Every structure is written in structure tokens, then in C-alpha cells.
Amino acid sequence: MIADRITAQGNPWNFDNSYLQLPEKMYSKLNPVPVKAPSLILFNHTLAEEIGLDVKGYDWQKLAACFSGNEIPGGADPLAQAYAGHQFGHFTMLGDGRAILLGEHLTPDGKRIDIQLKGSGRTPYSRRGDGRATLYSMLREYLISEAMHYLGIPSSRSLAVVSTGEPVYRERIHKGAILTRLAGSHIRVGTFEYTRNFLGDEELEKLVDYSLERHYPDDLQKKNKALALLDVLVHRQARLISEWMRVGFIHGVMNTDNMGIAAETFDYGPCAFMNAYNPATVFSSIDTEGRYAYGNQPYIAHWNLGSLAGALLPLIHPEQEKAIEMAKEVLNEFPAIYQQYWKEMMRNKLGLTREMEGDLNMMEDLLVWMHKNKADYTLTFYRLSHDKLQEDPAYLEEGFIHWLTQWKERINAEDGTLDDARAIMKKANPVHIPRNHKVEEVLLKAADHQQFEPLETMLELVKSPYEERPEYEPFKYGPEQGDGNYRTFCGT
């Protein structure tokens, strides 16, 4: 009914902008900077429908005007959020330097989601940046965020990409574009760091209350709300990272400003998917030390939560020493909680329904074998799940056969059959992940040669990652010659 009423008024949005309740120093109100020649490149009709956004009456030109920021929809209250963050371990002031939050849209089923335009021009937080984004990187974020969503991993979503008709100067000249990003919220660990460092305890308390009310309302009843927030995030982030590990996802820039309180994957920059299993895998060209390598992600999440704890200290207890002690107690739970989630995730990947002694060793033995033999992470689990190990003679290796025997014995020790196990495994082990070289291939065609069909084809594939799709056979494999010097660039 609500949707009908809004459409009748000609405004598909149902904005209700609660962020403005927060202290004024936490944002700057301003509109996106208009662009020269907006042209709609991608629009996510499925997502529009999911959130009750009826734009059926809009033609492409109208959509381009709206999702470039040239037209501000009724009910929007555009603003740029202030935040700080630890980037590669160093604290710095940041903020939305090239993004504008149009407002919060309430979906017909009562969800509140941020509607953000990314690449929307300079803001008071732009520092030396141009406020813009390249078409290449916005298409990349669209593709990978949608892929993560359909892999079943909490993620920001992508509604539209509009090219701006303006050049963007990076290491070379790119086409400019704006992405419409949807997220549970854009409150970050860095939002707390900003408030703690540059505002006061009163503001910090408002932010904690606001965050709990928005994301974890059950915890509002807790006596120590700041500690409750830390505790819930220890659990949510541990689970989120275990999910990244399940599919071989490497975020690439796990700075504290890129870790959200909604515990969704977001801010897709130089992220990539691991092919051959190796915990030290890094693709980002700026991550020269491997700080954000695949296997480091749980440690970094723990580190980032430490920054959150640091920001929350004055609310945890008035005496700092006592506050530190209380925060530590919660933080120190992270490794054990993470391991629980990780083991549960691995049990699903291996078709095991309950915990038994020796499981951890068996899981680690497989990973060690994969590492040593440079086996593809996704394909190994896929072949195990689909009874297709015969596809590759590498699995005839003695060490693997030994492991396989143990695994089968372990399955036998449960009540179910191998088929039962495989049914579980097929839900945890994707057939398809977005293979980096394929991602690169379709993005280059789209961004540099205006050939959008390969990208559309891949966008179709990422919607069903757990299904066998014979027509997509070449998308199943990593590059033949391995990753070589494959690098992802922040040249965003």
C-alpha cells in the first residue's frame, strides 16, 4: 500500500533521514556536484524491486539524472559524513571525500537503508582528491558487491552506475562515473574514532545509542551500551570474516574506515578472489607489506575492533584503567569466537554436521596440502562436493589420497552418507567465484571499449554461484598460467 501511495505522488523514494539527528559536526550538508552528460550504464531492476523502488515510469534519461545526482529526489537530505580512520595502521582524518548520502530509504518491509552516490564530486572532506571515481572502478564495485551478495555474504549493494561524460585523471585519463550504493548504514569504526578524537563524550554517547538503535536494538537494554556494541561487533565481524575466508575473498584495504558497524562487506577497492590456496595472497598494489593478505584478515579485524574499543573507552568506564580492562575482556574473546565460526564454516565446506575430535587437524591438513601443491581453493572444494576429483590428476597425489581416506572415514563416523555430506557441501562451496582475470577482461571491455555485453553476461553468472552452468564453463577456472603479477589498483 505504501508503495502505491508514493508512486501516485510521483516519488519512488520513501526517505526518512535519521542521520541528521546526530550532532552537526558529524556531517556536512551539501548536494552532489552536477555532471556534464550523465548516461545510464547499469541499473539493478531486481534490487529496485526488492527495496520497493518503483521507477517503471522513468525513462533512461530520467534515471541517469537521478542516479548522477543532477536531480535530487524529493525527501532526500544530501550530506557527506565525517569520519576518521587508521589507514595501514596510521590514524588520519577522512570523511566522505567523494560520496554523498542522499538519505535513508525505508523499504516496504521496514528496512532502513542508506542511499549513497559514490563519485559525486568534492566535499569538505576531499582533501586533495577530485571527488570523482572512474567508470572502471565503479563497475568493479557493482560487479563484486553483487557477487558477494549472491554468494550469501552480507554486503553493500549496487543499484546503478551512471557515466558522467567527464574525464577523471589518474595514472591515465579515465571515464568518470557515479555508483549508487545501498548499505545497512555507512557508520564505520572510523566514525567512532572521529567522534572520540575530535568531538566529545556526549557526541560519542549519541553515536553509540544511534548505532544500537539502528542495528542492534536488543542491546539498547544493556547496562553498558558501549561494551554491548563492542561485544556484538566482535561476533558479527568474526562471522563476516569467516565468510570471506569461505570463498577466498580478499578485501584488500581493511582500514578502520572501511569496517562498518552494520557488519557488511563494503568499500570495494582493490579486492580480489584467491585462486591457488596461499594464506599470504595479496593482490593490492598498495599493500606492499601484505598487511591485508588473505590469511591476515581475521587478525586485522581483531586489530580494527581494538581501535573501536579504544574509541569507546570513556563510555565503558569513567576510570580509564578499568575501562581498558573491561574492553580487553571482550576483545580477547575474538580469536576463540572467530575460530568457532571458522570451524563451523569449514565443517559445511567438508559436509560435517557436528564437531568431533581431530576435525581441526583434518581441516588444516587439507589446507596445507593445497598450499604445498598450489591447488585452486574453489575448485578443490567444488570437486570434492561434486565428486569430480577425477578432473585433475593432481588429486592422485599420495598425500591427498591419504587425506581423502581420512575424510571419508570421518563422514562415516556421522549418521549420514557421503551424498548427505555432499548436499551440505554444495551450499557452502561455490562452483563460480568472480575469477580476477575474467573480471578484468569484462571490465576493460566495458570501461574502455563500450562493450557491455560481456559484463552483463558475468553479472548474470554471479547471480547463481552455486549452480553448474555449462555455458559458463570457462569462467570456472583461474588463469592457466597462474596469477603471475596480477595486481589490483586503488587508482579509483
Write out the residues near Mg ion by the rule CB under 5 A.
257-258, 267
Across the strands, what pairs with 39? 163
269 sits near ligand AMP (criterion: CB under 6 A)? yes
Which of Mg ion, ligand AMP, none interacts with 78 (beta carbon under 5 to 8 A by kind)?
none
How many residues bind ligand AMP (CB under 6 A)? The answer is 17
Residue nearest to ligand AMP (CB): 129
Minimum distance between the CB of residue 137 and Mg ion, rounded to whole angstroms? 12
Question: Which residue in the shown chain puts its C-beta closest to Mg ion?
Answer: 267
Least spacing, CB of residue 31 vs ligand AMP, in Å: 16
Catalytic-role residue among 231, 257, 287, 376 = 257
Subset of 219-258 contacting ligand AMP (CB under 6 A) = 253, 257-258
Q: How many residues does the chain have?
A: 492
Residue 297 or residue 492: which is nearer to ligand AMP going by CB?
Answer: 492
Q: 243 or 267, CB closer to ligand AMP?
A: 267
CB nearer ligand AMP, residue 196 or residue 435: 196
Whose cell is 563497475? That residue is 139
Cell numbers standing for residue 325: 580492562
> With binding defined as CB under 6 A, does residue 267 bind ligand AMP?
yes
Shortest gap between Cβ of 68 and Mg ion (angstroms)?
A: 21
CB nearer to ligand AMP: pick between 82 and 425: 82
Cell of residue 156, nine digits = 553493500
Please state the closest distance from residue 125 (CB atom) to ligand AMP, in A.
6
Q: Which does 426 bind (CB under 5 to 8 A by kind): ligand AMP, Mg ion, none?
A: none
Q: Is the Cβ of residue 199 or residue 490 nearer to ligand AMP in the bound state?
A: 490
Q: Which is nearer to Mg ion, 114 or 267 (CB)?
A: 267
Choose between 70 and 492: whose C-beta lies nearer to ligand AMP. Answer: 492
Cα(385)–Cα(294) distance, integer angstroms: 23
Q: Which residues contact residue 438 at a Cβ distance below 8 angstroms, ignoring those fewer than 6 apart?
A: 458, 474, 475
- Choose one: 124-132, 139-147, 203-211, 466-474; the region binding ligand AMP (CB under 6 A): 124-132
Q: Is 98 in the site for ligand AMP (CB under 6 A)?
A: yes
Contact residue for ligand AMP among 12, 38, 52, 131 (CB under 6 A):
131
- With CB under 6 A as the contact rule, the residue among 70, 116, 211, 492 that binds ligand AMP is 492
Q: CB under 5 to 8 A by kind: which of ligand AMP, Mg ion, none does 97 bind?
A: ligand AMP
Closest by CA position to 458, among listed 446, 156, 481: 446
State in angstroms the smallest separation of the CB of 253 from Mg ion. 7
Phi and psi at residue 80, in whole multiples of 5°?
Answer: -110, 135
Q: Which three cell numbers mark 428?
A: 557452502
CA dist 128 and 118 (Å) reads 17
Of residues 167 and 318, the one with the C-beta less far from ligand AMP: 167
Q: Which residues pair with 84 in a beta bridge?
A: 93
Stretch that binds ligand AMP, among 125-133, 173-181, 451-459, 462-470 (CB under 6 A): 125-133
Residue 376 main-chain phi, psi, to 5 deg = -70, 130
Check binding of 126 to ligand AMP (CB under 6 A). Answer: yes
189 makes contact with ligand AMP (CB under 6 A): no
Phi then psi dihedrals of residue 431, to 5 deg: -75, -40
306 contacts ligand AMP (rule: CB under 6 A): no
Quote the CA–CA distance of 230 and 222 in Å, as a whole number: 12
Q: Decide: is 32 part of the binding site for ligand AMP (CB under 6 A).
A: no
- Told to judge if 77 belongs to the known catalytic residues of this protein, a careful annotator would answer no
Under 8 Å between Cβ of 212 and 289: no
Q: Select the span of 34-42, 88-96, 236-244, 324-332 touching ligand AMP (CB under 6 A).
A: 88-96
Q: Does 488 bind ligand AMP (CB under 6 A)?
A: no
Binding residues (CB under 6 A) for ligand AMP: these are 94-98, 125-126, 129-132, 253, 257-258, 267, 269, 492
Catalytic residues: 257
